Amino acid sequence: MKKKVFINLLLWNVIIAFGIGMFVGALIELLNLDVGDNEVEKMFEEYSPLMIFFLAVILAPIIEETIFRGPLVLFKNSKTFPFFFYILAFLFGFVHLFNFESYENAIWFAPFLFLPQLVTGVFLSYIRVRMGLLYSMLFHALFNLVLLGPFILLEIFKPTVH
């Protein structure tokens, strides 16, 4: 049962976050906003596919889940738990705002830029509370793999022009 819930939540998170990301991307184009390069795009220019896999699918989930979901256990039986549940999810999303090189000329748009990560932060927090920290790390890793995996594979198998 736990496995089924985990997979369903992962699928819903991917669908919702991807949908929000597509909507935000369309708004950026429609409003002709300059948010600069995304750090993920830069990562594909600077690192090998294996290094990107390591950073995004292994290292980031371990570090980010320890920082943003680990502390939830401290508030589990507290009246302040809901506050910390959402504030840590918000901070997780907010930190990802720094993936964008320059959004200063459209600071009002900043909340939209990290909305997909905010939603993912809520999913990850829920997994953490219901299943444990290791499950939130696994969820985070699989989420990143689903989103970045196709690009990593394209990078590995892209033809070289001589």
* Cα separation, 10 vs 143, whole angstroms: 7
**What are all long-range contacts of 139-142, with beta carbons under 8 Å and residues at least 24 apart?**
139/6, 139/9, 139/10, 139/13, 140/60, 140/61, 140/64, 140/65, 141/57, 141/58, 141/61, 142/10
- In this structure, of 42-51, 60-69, 141-150, the range with the lowest mean pLDDT score is 42-51
* Cα separation, 70 vs 85, whole angstroms: 11
Give the model confidence (pLDDT) of 61-80 as tens digits.
999 999 999 999 999 889 99
Per DSSP, the three-state class of 37 is coil
Per DSSP, the three-state class of 158 is coil
Domains of the chain, residue spans: 2-157
**Average of pLDDT values for 135-153?**
95
pLDDT at 51: 95
Give the model confidence (pLDDT) of 75-122 as tens digits.
988 999 999 999 999 999 999 988 887 777 778 888 899 999 999 999
Neighbours of 128 (CB within 10 A): 25
* Cα separation, 79 vs 15, whole angstroms: 32
